[in-house]
């Protein structure tokens, strides 16, 4: 039987929210936050484009068959990177704004 009187005490309460978000390290900068926000937007767009092309039929004389299906995710990633490089859809700007606010750098 387990003795409940000798429970382990943690240095913080896991059930209560922290007072403040963790700060970025000394080597982190606005440029890294911008890069992270852009990477997030690229990932988001890649997923959305993948869903958009999910029902597209590739049957017919010029269809790519199994090869096209295998490399479709790479094409979606390339599309998403180009969209992000061209200004994106605004997701990166919102994410960057919130990340800067959390770091007290806004």
* pLDDT confidence band for 76 (50 / 70 / 90): very high
How much is the pLDDT for 88? Answer: 93
How many angstroms separate the CA atoms of 78 and 84, rounded? Answer: 10
pLDDT for 26 equals 41
* Length of the chain (residues): 106
Here the contacts of 26-35 (C-beta below 8 Å, separation 24 or greater) are: 30/100, 30/105, 33/96, 33/99, 33/100, 33/103, 33/105, 34/92, 34/96
Mean pLDDT of 42-46: 96
Residues of the chain with pLDDT > 70: what percent? Answer: 71
State mean pLDDT over 17-46. Answer: 79
Q: Are 92 and 37 in contact (CB under 8 A)?
A: yes
């Amino acid at each position: 039987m387990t003795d409940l009187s000798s429970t382990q005490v943690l240095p913080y309460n896991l059930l209560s929210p922290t007072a403040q978000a963790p700060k970025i390290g000394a080597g982190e900068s606005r440029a890294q936050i911008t890069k992270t926000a852009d990477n997030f937007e690229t990932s988001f767009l890649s997923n959305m484009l993948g869903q958009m092309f999910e029902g597209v039929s590739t049957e017919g004389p010029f269809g790519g068959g199994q090869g096209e299906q295998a490399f479709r995710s790479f094409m979606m990633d390339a599309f998403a990177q180009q969209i992000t490089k061209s200004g994106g859809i605004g997701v990166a700007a919102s994410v960057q704004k919130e990340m800067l606010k959390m770091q007290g750098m806004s």
